[in-house]
Structure 1
Amino acid sequence: MQKTIYRKKEGESLFKEAYDRTLQEWDVPYGSSYVNTRFGRTHVIAAGPKGAEPLVLLHGFGFSSTMWKDNIKDLSEQYRVYALDFVGDINRSVATKQIESKADCANWFSDVLDELHLHKANVMGMSYGGFLALVFAILLPNRVDKLITICPGASLQKQKKQFFLRSLHAGIFPSAQNIDRFIRYMSADASKIDSTIRYQFIVAMQNCIPRIKVFASYLTDDELQKIEAPTLLLIGNHEVQYNPNAAIERAGRFIPKLDAHLIKDAGHGVTLEQPQVVDQHVLQFLQK
């Protein structure tokens, strides 16, 4: 049985209140539901016209699907958007079995698509979600239409030791001050990040522990060459986990159908810092 993500019993209500508070600020109509997978119940937030081309969103590590608050209006105008809470991370999904490998990740995603009655979908991920999106494109090529990976965790370059240590420090000593300092470290300008999302992340880190065994990791040349889907790569020019130019250069060498852009005035939290710029690139790419 999967361990709970909550540090203490009272942490569950505190986190869910923060989650719901962020979701209430979504400025589009949405539906909230659960689908069953072999790894537990996955929470799905759906928005946009039913029957429209599907776009699946995968959130960053320690965040949740509510993080798409500043993107959802643009993305859901023409697409049926499904924002997934990855099982084991800090969100409203309920894991019953731990995901322990990339193959498990792919099986979870396949289960979700089956439950949503989607044979194939456009897939977009941010940070850890960007890593997952790449993994799905590699292992499930027939189920990924177009791929959008935004500042993917590791994947294209090995993460800097400082990034790992700062992440670890914020998780072990989750005071509001330490977490806020970590947010500022990851951002080019932390003042651009929505205050409600920042609050949810602080509450999440203080009251929860992600129960994930598969961490973002470096993908081999052979793995990247297996990606068949047209791919959009977006990375902030102030990315801190690795050299953004080196990541784009390597992706260009090994991902066959790549469209890559460096986003100005953004750090690791590209979608949170420059949501309108991201949306513009994403929609132009999807509509090609």
Structure 2
Amino acid sequence: MKDYLSLLIVVCLLTGCEQARFNDDITKAYGLPDRSAEYQDLITRDPKNLSEDELYNRVLTLWDTPYRELNLPTSAGTTHIIISGPADGETLILLHGMNADSTMWYPNVKALSKRYRVYAIDDILGPGKSKLDQAEDSIETVIDWYFEIFDTLKLEKTILVGASQGGWIATNLALSKPERFHKLILLSPAQTLTWLEPSVDILSNLLFAINPQRDGLRNNLATLSSNVDGIDQLYIDQFFRTITTASTSPLLMDMKPFDDKQLAALTMPVLFLVGDDDLFNNQDSVDRAIKIMPCVQAEIISDSGHFISVDQAELVNEKIVEFVATKQNQHLTTCKKII
């Protein structure tokens, strides 16, 4: 108990005691305030009358696994992280997509947290609870910021999981300091293996971004998801608020596919999953990954769009867990070459 109280003091100093939020079981065990009723109340309220943070907390009622939130001070600003899973589990770092935040992992976090220590980080340049405190907003700033987080939390030899823009950022991180990462998992990464091809869906997304209207939201989601009805309404409400209020990502113009030399330098085991109706990837993406990456498992997941971690959550969760559980020497036996 004494050790726990010491840890709690450290957490309070880093984040503010009100920012350390625990699951009901931990709340009962240590007498911390039970705030679950507060979050449940958010579900019944009109989303139009909720703040961005309240909409965020509303989606966290779907988390369905023990977790806590940390607001970590960094040189770039305040970093918001949701932490779950066993403290001695292998570390998984989740990087969300553009126009999203860490709550997008609600269909995945329970399965991943059973065995692994999961850190879902809100991008400092995107929506969510992380707050940028400086004018610099380049990819170099983002890379330095992530490694500052990893150093502060003493996260070594971790597994990076990136979706959409998060996959592009994860690839940049893995190329920057490959020795820091054990494995790399890319879920429908945007502008990473191939260029985005013009299409009716792309045009539809652009038009919706210019003038987002609630009655056009379902059609917009249908360009990203093969199973819109499978997306929880709490997340849809938050997603709509985000795309109507968030600024365009400052990294958007920097995002371009990596060249052959860069992809060949990713010698750690890589899991590359894309949907068969993915806005940003296709068979060409998979073929290029298999041809160039030294140690890649690349697959197309049927009946899924760009929101692959939602459309086929159970299957994607299984593939991630299986991939992470595979021993390093077993991966090496299937690699084309070791550089």
Tell me the TM-score normalized by structure 1: 0.90
Matches within 5 A, 1:188-199: 188-199=226-237
Question: Deviation at 1:135?
Answer: 1.2
Moved over 6 A (4+): none
Shift of 1:209: 2.1
1:219 aligns with 2:258: yes
Query: Which residue is 1:237 aligned to?
Result: 276
**CA distance in 1 between partners of 2:135 and 2:266 (Å):** 26
Partner of 2:176: 139
Q: C-alpha distance in 2, partners of 1:86/1:46?
A: 15
User: In structure 2, what is the equivalent of residue 113 of structure 1?
Assistant: 150
TM-aligned CA deviation for residue 170 of structure 1: 2.5
Q: Name whichever of 245-254 and 173-182 sits farther off.
A: 173-182
Q: CA deviation at 1:270?
A: 0.3
* Aligned with 1:148 (options 185, 194, 209): 185
Among 253, 275, 284, the alignment partner of 2:313 is 275
Q: 1:187 to 1:122 in 2, by over 3 A?
A: same
Amino acid at match of 1:49: P
> Secondary structure of 2:193's match?
coil
- In structure 1, the residue matched to 2:32 is none
RMSD after superposition = 1.8
CA distance, structure 2, for counterparts of residue 286 and residue 123 of structure 1: 11
Deviation by residue 1:144-191 (Cα, 9 ceiling, x = unmatched): 111000000011110022355433322221211333321111122211
1:25-174 equivalent positions in 2, closer than 5 A: 25-98=62-135, 100-162=137-199, 164-174=202-212
Which is further off, 156-165 or 109-118? Answer: 156-165
How many residues align? The count is 277
Kindly tell me: are residues 151 and 277 of structure 1, through their superposed partners in 2, closer, same or farther at Cα, counting changes over 3 Å?
same
Quick one: higher RCO (CA 8 Å, sep 6+), 1 or 2? Answer: 1
Distance in 2 (CA, whole Å) between partners of 1:102 and 1:278 is 28
| Greater Cα offset, 187-196 or 160-169 | 160-169
Q: Could you say what secondary structure the match of 1:124 adopts?
A: strand
Larger Rg belongs to: 2
Instruction: Check conservation: 2:67, 2:84, Cα contact below 8 A.
Output: yes
Deviation per residue, 1:65-114 (Å, 9 max, x gap): 01111111110011000000001101110011255443333212101101
Q: Secondary structure at the match of 1:259?
A: strand
Structure 1 residue 246: Cα displacement: 0.4
- Structure 1 unaligned regions, length at least 5: 1-10
Cα contact 2:80–2:130 (8 A) shared by 1: yes
Amino acid corresponding to residue 195 of structure 1 in structure 2: Q
Structure 1 position 202 matched with structure 2 position 240: yes
Structure 2 vs 1, CA of residues 229 and 98 (structure 1 numbering), >3 Å: closer, same or farther?
farther
